[in-house]
Amino acid sequence: MLTQLGYQFIVEPSSFEERERGLSAHDTALFFARGKAEEVFSRFPLSAVLGADTVVTLGGEIFGKPKDQEDAKRMLRLLSGKEHAVLTGVCLIAPNYREEAIVATHVVFHELSEEVIAAYVASGLPLDKAGAYGIQDGRPLVKEIYGSYTNVVGLPTEKVGTMLATALRGTR
In whole angstroms, give the CA distance from residue 119 to residue 102: 32
The kind and range of the H/E element at 102 are strand 97-109
Q: Counting every residue, how long is the chain?
A: 172
DSSP element (H, E) containing 117: helix 114-122
Instruction: State CA 53 to chain mean position distance.
Output: 5
For the chain, what is the total number of helices (H) and then of strands (E)? 5, 5
State the catalytic residue, choosing from 27, 53, 128, 137. 53
Q: Is 128 a residue of the active site?
A: no
Taking the alpha carbons at both ends of the chain, their separation in whole angstroms is: 17
Cβ atoms within 10 Å, residue 10: 6
CA–CA separation, 159 vs 103, rounded Å? 8
CB 72 within 8 A of CB 48: no
Catalytically annotated residues: 53
